[in-house]
Structures are given as structure tokens and as C-alpha cells.
Chain A
């Protein structure tokens, strides 16, 4: 896919009340997208590509 212009990435809060949840909230060109932790989802695959390339860091969920 085209490279995503991700300006921020953060895990959503866990439904159990603490820790990271099952989605990554990213902002792309001003739009918030909720990306599942699911290989095969093209957005998740692109996030992981950028993380592995060292160009993106995913912040932990807010407490």
C-alpha cells in the first residue's frame, strides 16, 4: 500500500482497565484511525513496517 503519513500512534486503553488495548489509534493526515493488532490488516502491516524501520513509535495507552 502507499506509505501512510502517520503523525501519531498510541495503543488504546485496555478494556480490563490497565495496560494496552487491542487497537492502535493512529492519526493520518489529521484523521484518527483505529487499527486492530491483526497481521493481514494492511494498515497494521504498514504500522509494523514503519516501526521496524525505526520511523514510528507506538505510545503506550494512557493510564
Chain B
């Protein structure tokens, strides 16, 4: 390829890689924390980042947005063990999960001879040195997986890791808004998941190979912690420097999946039948019709206090609420809610 062709490809042409918008991970710098900055349970934590356990008996941990970070970053995601898992049983798993919409990955051309390689890079740090694994899986409940190992060599030191995945010519990524690609960072894995062979190509999932060779056990002591930031997935066989995006850009991307404490006010009319309706819009179009929670009427006029919300109706753009409240005349309503359309 000529230099001109290489440059054109780099800028965003035929190679699928590009100088901008190349990072397929949302919130890879752990900037956005709409739900809060400290969590003690499994589930979504910092935006787009999900902590999961399976079959654990004792472990307790906090996940926080930490200011401990490598040069060039302000934040990381920190996992700190507060109660150790006394024994790592064969069926136990402890991991951080990130999911990507399938329709955002069609340029990978998976499932065809034109499929492209991708490279995951990230900064990681832990006092627990040794071999860790990352599992990659296609499509919701998909069976096409590949696992890669990395090693933390020095305790309590930031290290940048690069994992390149071969092109997947066999399995296409569904072209829709569902889970198309998930990345699972193991922090501990029981022998049911570690004793298989480490494959070199995408293959049908074998349980024993899901975290093949994983040795580190972050759950083993309350002295243990694990940090990650600068997570980037990009087309190609080389990791490039982390693509920093503005907080506003990253927040908007996150809000496709979750919005926290959206405050809305609406004017409404209490008619003779005594009902009130109001409509609030999401900051961006959401991935799917979201679940609404923490919906609270904070203030209202000409409507009796303590009104309850009797019905809601949502789309990917907005939510309407209805209250069979008593009152009369023009009114206003001031309310807030959270909306979740996570994968």
C-alpha cells in the first residue's frame, strides 16, 4: 500500500480504522458516574461498567470512581475487597463486564471474509500480580468466544496491556440495538472456567476455556484491589494512544443507556375528571424504551399534595406520566426520574 493509501485508510477509509471515533468503548476513561461514585453491590456502577459475581459465598467489595490513575487520566474504576472469599470454589466468577451494541460494530465485517481484527488496550493496576484473562463474546447469549491473557508484572504499578483479536469470519454480529459484543475482565475464576485450552481463534464456547489459565484471585484478601482505565477497542492489530473524548461527548454516549435524576416541569390542566398529565424528554434518544425509576413529584400547583403516579408511557424519546389527582384549574408539575435502557 502506498503512503497516500495508508494515510487515507488511517483517516477513516477502507481499513475501518480512523484517527477519530476509533474507540468503540463508552466511558473507557471512567469519567462518567451518573449513578454515583461508590457501589457495594453487583450491577451497573460507573456508566456502562457492570460488576458481576457468580456463586460466591463471602466476598464483599466496593467499586468506586478513583482518582488514582496513570498519567493523562483523571479517573479509574477501582475494585476494593472488603470481605475476602475464603475459598475459591470451582464454580465461582468475579468480573467486570462491558457490552457494545451490535449496530455499532458492522464495520468489523464479522461473519465474512472481509472481517477485521480488533485490538483492546487498557491500563490496569493491582497488588495481585500474575495471569489474568479477558473473555470476548459475540451477540446476546452468543456462543462465539475467544479469551486472551495478560499479566500484571509489578504490584501497585500502572501497566498498559494490548490484546489483539483475530478477525471472526464465521459469525456475524447482529445488526440491531441488542448486545453485539461483550468484554469480560476476570478478577477471579474457579477451576470450572480456567482448566481448558486457551484458543487462538474464535470458537464455540467451552466453559473450561472461558478464562483459560486465569490464575490471579483478587477476591482472596481484604488487602487486594484492582484498577482499570483507558479502555479502548479499535479496528486493527495495533493499539493506538487512548482517544480522549470530552466529558460532554462521553456523557451523551452514556445517556443513550442511562439517565440519572432527570428533572422536568410541565404545565398541565386539571380537568373536570381530575387528572393531570405531563411529559418529559430524555437528553438523547435511548437505546430502547427504558425502565423508569425513582419517579417522584417534587412540587405541583392546583393539585392536591401527595399525588401519586397512576400510569406512565415511555418511548425512546420521552416519558409521559399521568396522575388521577384531585385538583382544579391550571397546574404545574415538577418531577424527576431515572431511565435505564442498559444492555
Name A's B-contacting residues (CB within 8 A).
Answer: 2, 12-15, 21-23, 31-36, 38, 40-44
Interface range on chain B (Cβ under 8 Å from partner): 20 to 34
Instruction: Count contacts between A and B, CB distance < 8 Å.
Output: 56
Contact B311 A14 (CB under 8 A): yes
Contact B312 A2 (CB under 8 A): no
Give Cα distance in the complex from A42 to B288, angstroms: 10
**Across the interface, which residues of B come within 8 angstroms of A23, CB to CB?**
292, 311-314
**Across the interface, which residues of A come within 8 angstroms of B42, CB to CB?**
2
Which of chain B's residues 285-320 have a Cβ closer than 8 Å to chain A?
288-295, 310-314
Give Cα distance in the complex from A31 to B310, angstroms: 16
Secondary structure dominating the interface of B: strand
The smallest beta-carbon distance between B319 and chain A, in angstroms, is 8
B119 CB within 8 Å of chain A: no
Contact A34 B292 (CB under 8 A): yes
> Given that A2-B42, A2-B52, A15-B322 are contacting pairs, would A41 and B311 also be in contact in the complex, using a CB cutoff of 8 Å?
no
Contact B311 A33 (CB under 8 A): no
B143 CB within 8 Å of chain A: no
Contact A40 B178 (CB under 8 A): yes
Specify which of B177, B295, B324 is in contact with A34 (CB 8 Å cutoff).
B295
Specify which of B43, B290, B312 is in contact with A41 (CB 8 Å cutoff).
B290
Chosen A-B contacts, 15 in total, with CB atoms closer than 8 Å, are: A2-B42, A2-B52, A13-B311, A13-B322, A13-B324, A14-B311, A15-B322, A21-B313, A36-B289, A36-B290, A38-B289, A42-B343, A43-B291, A43-B340, A44-B291
Given contacts A22-B313, A36-B314, 10 further A-B pairs with CB under 8 A are A2-B52, A15-B311, A15-B313, A21-B312, A23-B314, A31-B293, A34-B295, A38-B289, A41-B291, A42-B342
Contact B291 A36 (CB under 8 A): yes
Give Cα distance in the complex from A41 to B177, angstroms: 11
User: Considering the complex of A and B, which 5 residue pairs feature the smallest CB-CB distances, nearest first?
Assistant: A34-B292, A36-B289, A12-B311, A38-B289, A33-B293
Give Cα distance in the complex from A41 to B291, angstroms: 7
**Across the interface, which residues of B come within 8 angstroms of A13, CB to CB?**
310-311, 322, 324
**Across the interface, which residues of A come within 8 angstroms of B289, CB to CB?**
36, 38, 41
